[in-house]
A and B are shown apart, each in its own frame.
Chain A
Amino acid sequence: MELRSNVPEGPIERKWEKHRFEMKLVNPANKRKHTILMVGSGLAGASAAASLAELGYNVKCYCYQDSPRRAHSIAAQGGINAAKNYQNDGDSVFRLFYDTVKGGDYRSREGNVYRLAELSVEIIDQCVAQGVPFAREYGGLLANRSFGGAQVSRTFYARGQTGQQLLLGAYQALERQIGLGKVEMFSRHEMLDLVLVDGRARGIVTRDMVTGEIESHAGDAVVLGTGGYGNVFYLATYAKGANATAIWRAYKKGAAFANPCFTQIHPTCIPVTGEHQSKLTLMSESLRNDGRIWVPKKARDPRPPNQIPEEDRDYYLERQYPSFGNLVPRDVASRAAKRVADEGRGVGPGGFGVYLDFADAIKRLGANVIGEKYGNLFEMYERITAENPYQVPMRIYPAIHYTMGGLWVDYNLMSTVPGLHVIGEANFSDHGANRLGASALMQGLADGYFVMPYTVGHYLASNKIEKLATDHSAFRQAEAAVADRVRSLLGIGGQRSVDSFHRELGRIMWEYCGMARNQGGLETALEKIPALREQFWREAKVPGENEELNQSLEKAGRVADFLELAELICLDALERRESCGGHFREEFQTPDGEARRDDENFCHVAAWEYAGQGQKPIRHVEPLSFEYVHPSQRSYK
Chain B
Amino acid sequence: MNLTLHVWRQKNAAARGRFVTYPASDVSPDMSFLEMLDVVNEALIAGGEDPIAFDHDCREGICGTCGMMIDGQAHGPRRATTACQLHMRTYRDGDEITIEPWRADAFPVVKDLVVDRSAFDRIVAAGGFITARTGSAPDGNAVPVPKAAADLAMDAAACIGCGACVAACPNASAMLFTAAKVSHLGLLPQGQPERHTRVRGMVAQMDAEGFGTCTNHFECEAACPKSISVRFIARMNRDYLVATLADRGEPASAEGGTG
Contacts and interface: CB of A to CB of B under 8 A. Distances in A.
Contacts of A281: 59-60
Interface in B122-146: 124-126, 128-141, 143-146
B50 A131 contact: no
B83 to A, nearest CB: 13
A176 B256 contact: yes
A549 B147 contact: no
Contact of B118 (A67, A75, A158, A552): A67
A613 B160 CA distance: 43
B72 interface: no
Determine which residue in A50, A172, A274 has the highest number of CB atoms from chain B within 10 A of its CB, and name it.
Answer: A172
A540 B128 CA distance: 45
B178 to A, nearest CB: 13
Contacts of B111: 548-549
A509 B220 CA distance: 44
Contacts of B129: 130-131, 172-173, 175-176
B164 to A, nearest CB: 15
A330 interface: no
A159 B62 CA distance: 13
B246 interface: no
Contacts of B161: 67, 69-70
A133 interface: yes
A163 B16 CA distance: 39
Contact of B110 (A133, A241, A541, A549): A549
A138 interface: yes
A86 interface: yes
A129 B137 contact: yes
Contact of A138 (B55, B134, B147): B147
Determine which residue in B49, B135, B143, B190 has the highest number of CB atoms from chain A within 10 A of its CB, and name it.
Answer: B135
Interface string A158-174: 11010011001001110
Given A175-B128, A548-B11, A274 B28 contact: yes
A385 B87 CA distance: 9
A383 B132 contact: no
Interface stretch (B29-37, B167-175, B233-241): B29-37
A323 interface: no
A125 interface: yes
Interface in A480-517: 495, 497, 499-500
Contacts of A241: 57
Nearest to A187: B118
Given A239-B59, A543-B51, A549 B114 contact: yes
B210 interface: no
A386 interface: yes
Nearest to A448: B134
B227 to A, nearest CB: 12
Contacts of A500: 42
A240 B120 contact: no
Interface residues of B, number: 82
A86 B141 CA distance: 9
A175 B62 contact: no
Interface in A190-207: none
B42 A279 contact: no
B45 interface: yes
Contacts of B133: 54
A65 interface: yes
A128 to B, nearest CB: 4
Interface stretch (A177-185, A295-303, A523-531): A177-185
B50 A543 contact: yes
Contact of A497 (B42, B59, B114, B140): B42
A136 B31 contact: no
B212 interface: no
A277 interface: yes
A173 B29 CA distance: 42
Interface stretch (A139-147, A422-430, A618-626): A139-147
A66 interface: yes
Nearest to A77: B62
A462 interface: no
A128 B141 CA distance: 9
Contacts of B81: 383
A124 B150 CA distance: 15
B130 A129 contact: yes
B140 A84 contact: yes
A192 B105 CA distance: 32
Interface string B170-198: 00000000000000110010110000000
Given A240-B57, A281-B60, A383 B85 contact: yes
Interface stretch (B1-9, B93-101, B151-159): B151-159
Contact of B150 (A54, A135, A544): A135
A135 B151 CA distance: 7
Interface string B32-70: 101110110010011011110101111111111100000
Interface string B67-82: 0000000000000010
B125 A179 contact: yes
Nearest to B133: A54
Nearest to B129: A172
Nearest to A349: B30
Given A67-B161, A125-B138, A171-B124, A239 B146 contact: no
Given A124-B140, A142-B140, A54 B114 contact: no
A273 B53 contact: no
Given A159-B154, A176-B125, A273-B28, A139 B110 contact: no
B63 A70 contact: yes
B12 interface: yes
Interface of A: 47, 50-51, 54, 65-70, 72, 74-75, 84, 86, 122, 124-131, 133-142, 158-159, 161, 164-165, 168, 171-173, 175-180, 185, 187, 210, 237, 239-241, 273-274, 276-279, 281-282, 380, 383-386, 449-450, 453, 495, 497, 499-500, 541, 543-544, 548-549, 551-552
**Shortest Cβ-Cβ A-B pairs, 9 listed:** A140-B144, A129-B137, A179-B125, A172-B129, A129-B132, A125-B137, A273-B30, A179-B256, A180-B256
Interface of B: 11-12, 28-32, 34-36, 38-39, 42, 45-46, 48-51, 53, 55-65, 81, 85, 87, 89, 110-111, 114, 116-118, 120-121, 124-126, 128-141, 143-147, 150-151, 153-154, 157-158, 160-161, 184-185, 188, 190-191, 255-258
17 contacts: A67-B117, A67-B118, A75-B60, A125-B139, A140-B145, A164-B158, A172-B128, A172-B129, A179-B257, A273-B28, A276-B36, A276-B38, A282-B60, A386-B89, A450-B134, A543-B51, A551-B51
Given A173-B134, A281-B60, 8 more contacts: A47-B134, A66-B116, A134-B150, A239-B57, A278-B34, A453-B134, A497-B46, A541-B46
